[in-house]
Amino acid sequence: MTTTTRTDPAPVGAPDRRPAPRLRSRPAPAPRRRPRRSILLTALTAIVLVYSLIPLVWLVINATKTQDGLFTSFGLWFDGDFALWDNLRDTLTYDNGIFLRWLGNTLLYVVVGAGGATFLAVLGGYGLAKYDFPGKRGVFATVIGAVAVPGTALAVPTFLMFSKMGITNTPWAVIIPSLISPFGLYLMWTFATEAIPTEMIEAARVDGASEFRTFFRISLPMLAPGIVTVLLFTMVATWNNYFLPLIMLKDPDWYPLTLGLNAWNEQASTVGGQAVFNLVITGSLLTILPLIAAFLLLQRYWQSGLSAGSVKD
């Protein structure tokens, strides 16, 4: 026969004299030590950042100096005379405002050339990503091969072809080659493959939407990050294009900023031509400002476009 012991509850109002439970104290977490690889990468990143910013800092500082101050003062520090506004005025008015003409030419090449290249890349990438047709693998191999070919290797054959057509020394000699961007086409191809669900396109077709309406009303808004990314690539390539305009153009009135600044630099290197050296520096500063503004304004689209176009589920 087993005997059970019953514990009666404490009467109401009586103090509870049971021992309080002990709280176990957790040991303090040990401080995490940053691995040596992380410290090394941070140091290398800082070195690359400094290396990239030094030319920009030098350009900004020397754009504020007078012509004499450029040769008598330290390159990475300001001179006593602040001549930025005078340099800007001289740059914009020198030789009847030829710098503004070069700026307008560059904007023309970027708007028509880079804008057209982006539009064609979007259309081609969407078609290659969402339509099946015979020879698609051959097109893919051709696009990859075109990405591997540098543009300078095609400049001379393009010049010979355009010279027979009689369009050299015209804006079309710079715009037409800029309309082709194999890398932009490949980027839009991979981006459209992942960004646009095939089921959504099929649902739009079932609802009776045409192919054009499906593209412009449904697919195009979803391709916005990739479009901005390709636009930045083509815009930078066209803005900094130097070799193609060098062999295609002879008339200074059609020069882009790259050729115009190079002409001023060659003039500054001659005897008695040092008077335009400050114009070269100030003009270079004005040339990079639109690119910096474009990157700052479109940075979030740039990052999302690269990540979305390069990651597969």
Q: What was the pLDDT predicted at 150?
A: 84
Long-range contacts of 103-108 (CB under 8 A, 24+ apart): 103/257, 103/286, 105/171, 105/254, 105/255, 105/256, 105/257, 106/239, 106/256, 106/257, 106/258, 108/171, 108/175
pLDDT classification of 271: cutoffs 50, 70, 90: low
Assess if residue 70 is contained within a domain.
no
CATH number at 225 reads 1.10.3720.10
Assess if residue 80 is contained within a domain.
no
pLDDT at 34 over 90: no
Assess if residue 217 is contained within a domain.
yes
Nearest residue to 121 via CA among 194, 209, 190: 190
8 Å CB contact between 54 and 75:
no
Averaged pLDDT for residues 102-106:
95
Assess if residue 162 is contained within a domain.
yes
Assess if residue 83 is contained within a domain.
no
Q: What was the pLDDT predicted at 154?
A: 87
Assess if residue 72 is contained within a domain.
no
Q: What was the pLDDT predicted at 273?
A: 65
Cα Rg, the chain, nearest whole Å: 32
Q: Residue 142 phi/psi, 5° resolution?
A: -65, -40
Q: What was the pLDDT predicted at 69?
A: 85
Domain holding 153, by residue range, is 99-250+295-310
Assess if residue 214 is contained within a domain.
yes
pLDDT classification of 1: cutoffs 50, 70, 90: very low
Name residue, tokens 């002990």. 22
Assess if residue 111 is contained within a domain.
yes
Q: By mean pLDDT, which of 124-128, 175-179, 182-186, 264-268 is the weakest?
A: 264-268
Name residue, tokens 């030789």. 95
Averaged pLDDT for residues 196-225:
90
pLDDT at 86 over 60: yes
8 Å CB contact between 151 and 145:
no
Please count the structural domains in the chain. 1
Q: What was the pLDDT predicted at 5?
A: 46
| Count of Cβ atoms closer than 10 Å to residue 151 Cβ | 16
pLDDT classification of 20: cutoffs 50, 70, 90: low
Averaged pLDDT for residues 204-222:
90
Averaged pLDDT for residues 6-23:
53
Q: Residue ranges of the alpha helices (H) in 135-240?
A: 136-148, 155-165, 172-178, 182-195, 198-206, 211-213, 220-222, 224-239
* pLDDT tens per residue, range 217-262: 999 989 988 899 899 999 999 999 999 999 999 999 999 999 999 9
Q: What was the pLDDT predicted at 28?
A: 57
* pLDDT tens per residue, range 274-284: 778 889 999 99
pLDDT at 131 over 50: yes
Nearest residue to 187 via CA among 231, 247, 242, 139: 231
pTM: 0.80
Q: What was the pLDDT predicted at 23?
A: 52
Q: What is the share, in percent, of the chain residues with pLDDT greater than 70?
A: 83
